[in-house]
């Protein structure tokens, strides 16, 4: 079932969403000081391409002061606008019955889009995978 939902997701918006995160990652890596957000954008791009069967967890060891400060800057500069985009798209997807799981997946991306630093994406069958490294 996850594969079917991922293919539907890919066709109805996942490819473009992933591409936009990937391009944002390239821009962030070109501007040297924003490389941490660029790496986070690449991580989110992979998640946006194939979201079903994966989940977001906090990185082991908690978040550092630098991650927290970086997330605050991200929220003020881009995070809030990305969240508005995800909510708007989720509402549009939820109009149809087949789009409801896609809308839920879109809403599931909000926490990592709002605060990308200090997060890890793991398979849902191993939600504590990051703890055992």
Confidence (pTM): 0.81
Domains in the chain: boundaries:
2-124
The predicted-structure confidence for 26-57, as pLDDT tens digits, reads as follows 988 998 888 999 999 999 999 999 888 888 88
pLDDT at residue 8, rounded to an integer: 87
pLDDT given for residue 26 in this prediction: 92
pLDDT reported for residue 42: 93
CA 82 to the chain's CA centroid: 10
**Contact in structure between 116 and 27 (CB atoms under 8 Å):** no
Residues of the chain with pLDDT under 50: 132-133
């Amino acid at each position: 079932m996850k594969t079917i939902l991922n293919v539907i997701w890919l066709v109805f918006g996942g490819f473009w969403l992933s591409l936009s995160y990937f391009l944002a990652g390239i821009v962030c890596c070109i501007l040297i000081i924003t490389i941490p957000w660029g790496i986070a954008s690449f991580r989110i791009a992979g998640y946006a391409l194939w979201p079903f069967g994966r989940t977001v967890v906090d990185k082991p060891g908690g978040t550092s002061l630098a991650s927290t400060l970086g997330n605050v800057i991200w929220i003020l500069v881009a995070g809030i606008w990305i969240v508005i985009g995800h909510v708007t798209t989720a509402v549009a997807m939820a109009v149809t019955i087949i789009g409801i799981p896609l809308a839920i997946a879109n809403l599931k991306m909000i926490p990592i889009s709002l605060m990308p630093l200090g997060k890890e994406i793991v398979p849902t069958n191993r939600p504590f995978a990051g703890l055992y490294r």
